[in-house]
């Protein structure tokens, strides 16, 4: 049923980023936040680290953005996030999951 499908989707622990990029517009370090989150979600769904890392490379570095490990945790991103995400903490988790050093 549709309800079971919705419940199954809700159980997948993805980062609920809509890629509005309001955060990126205020980030003093030019971090590719939504690209990093997209790559992390890809890892969660497909469990393929190489693919997720390639995706992060293209979405972040390929678009002239800095990588998540350069975040200075200033919090400017959180002030504008319509999803109220704890972006610096999520970026730290993404670095671990995607092996960004």
14 φ/ψ angles, rounded to the nearest 5 degrees: -90, 160
What is the mean pLDDT, run by run of 10 residues, along the chain of 101 residues? 86 94 98 98 97 98 97 98 98 97 87
Contact status, residue 18 vs residue 1, Cβ threshold 8 Å: no
d(CA 78, CA 86): 6
Q: Which pLDDT value is given to residue 9? A: 82
pTM score of the predicted model = 0.91
Q: Which pLDDT value is given to residue 14? A: 95
Q: Which pLDDT value is given to residue 6? A: 87
Q: Which pLDDT value is given to residue 7? A: 87
């Amino acid at each position: 049923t549709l309800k079971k499908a919705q419940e199954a989707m809700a159980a997948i622990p993805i980062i609920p980023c809509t890629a509005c990029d309001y955060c990126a517009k205020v980030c003093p370090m030019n971090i590719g936040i939504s690209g990093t989150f997209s790559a992390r979600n890809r890892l969660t769904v497909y469990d393929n680290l190489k693919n997720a890392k390639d995706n992060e490379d293209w979405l972040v570095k390929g678009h002239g953005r800095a990588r998540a490990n350069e975040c200075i945790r200033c919090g400017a991103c959180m002030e504008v996030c319509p999803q109220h995400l704890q972006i610096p903490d999520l970026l730290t988790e993404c670095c671990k999951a995607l092996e960004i050093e």
